[in-house]
Structure 1
Amino acid sequence: MEYKYLFGPVRSRRLGRSLGIDLVPGNICSFNCVYCECGKTTCLTEKRGEYAPVGRIQQELDHYLRRKRDIDHITLGGTGEPTLHSGISTILEYLRKHHPEYKRAVLTNSTLLSDPEVRKEIHTADLILPSLDAVSDSQLRMINRPITGITTEQMIEGLVKLRTEFKGEIWLEIFFIAGINTTEGELHLLRDAAVRINPDQIHINSLSRPGAEPWVSPLTEDEKKRILYFFTEEFANTTII
């Protein structure tokens, strides 16, 4: 079978051997992040829909997993925002029932987590990896360039509620861009937000491959260590990825 929506397994820095499911192919997203390694968003939206057919995804999973595979996680992600897919709960439940030996992970940019229905739909995952790169709305617009109407407080509140409802682990990723969200003021805002969210882990990230905008550059090792030290004052389980 030719796989249209499965990719990998790839060696992930966080998830080990990860089999990916591209739920929203074609760079359809609620963000247009300046650092996105998939390139610029082609369709900026917060409208949910069946962007990839659920039946086809189930067929591909059954075909690929018909033999025991050396996989650490099956990860719902791809080139866009996976929670935009209206069938995400169906796919997670299918994996839980038909392929329970594999852990289920969901990547998300956190923009839809203010919706209680979305939070409910992903509650059968084993692991959720949300991101939060900014607390001030001006930084959000500079870094993530969201569709109109999304605010950082809305995202943070959604993450706080997810923490109270979700029984699995939450690993919060923060993507840093030198001189943008690395100032003392922004670091304090991000750490205070993380305290509210109370994730199991915090992952510090920066550019490793070319992003959507050429001016985005990776942090130096000294900058990474400075930020790591700042966050470990409150969160011992903070790592650079």
Structure 2
Amino acid sequence: MVHRDNLDEIISDEEIRQRVRQMFGEPKQSKIDKLSRHPLATMFVGFLLTWGIGGILTGKISAYQLENQKKIEQVKVKREEGLKAIKEITELMYTRYTVSVLLASSLKRNAPLEELKERKNRYDDIYLKWNSSIQNTQFTIRGLMDDSAYSELESVLEFGLVAHFNNVDKVITNGYDMRLKRDSPVYDSLYIKKELAACLDCSYAISNYLWMRTNLYGNVKNNSIEFVKKIERELYETCM
């Protein structure tokens, strides 16, 4: 009897639940809810999300690559322009050094007047070219160094190399003038040799420094920065 009573209670409870469900009704699912639970709909939404996010990422990557390529091209152009400018500056420095050596040699050997005049004319031509180009050369150097104002390298050029060339010019010009007057020129060959050597060393140091800086343009790694500091010290030690 006890078992029968329990069974009746269970049945009664189930009947009550059914009546409650009938009374209030089962919650109806909308078409959208049904559609959202469909496997194909889930797959389609996943595809849209993947396509959208992938498209955004692809666009950002493409933009980054384009910007990076643009920077690479800018660095390449800057380096090419720099190397061209360095070639012009180097040619100017070494040409002045060469004509100075040739004229100094003629004075030291007490060479025939014809040879002396020929070399002096060549020397004067280069001297004029130097003076007419030096200002533009300084601006070119400023551009290579990315400096908007007076650069340190300009200081080395002006107070280092130019100062040595001026010392050479005073001696050989004085020697030439005295030779034309048929006087025995007071010519200090040891001093001129020392100054010409300083001109050569400084010209090389400047060319080397400019070449290194131009080839390192766009490279901001720590080892590159340290290397630039090293060649800057060598430049000052050589020219100043």
Indicate whether the TM-score tops 0.5.
Answer: no
| Structure with greater strand percent | 1
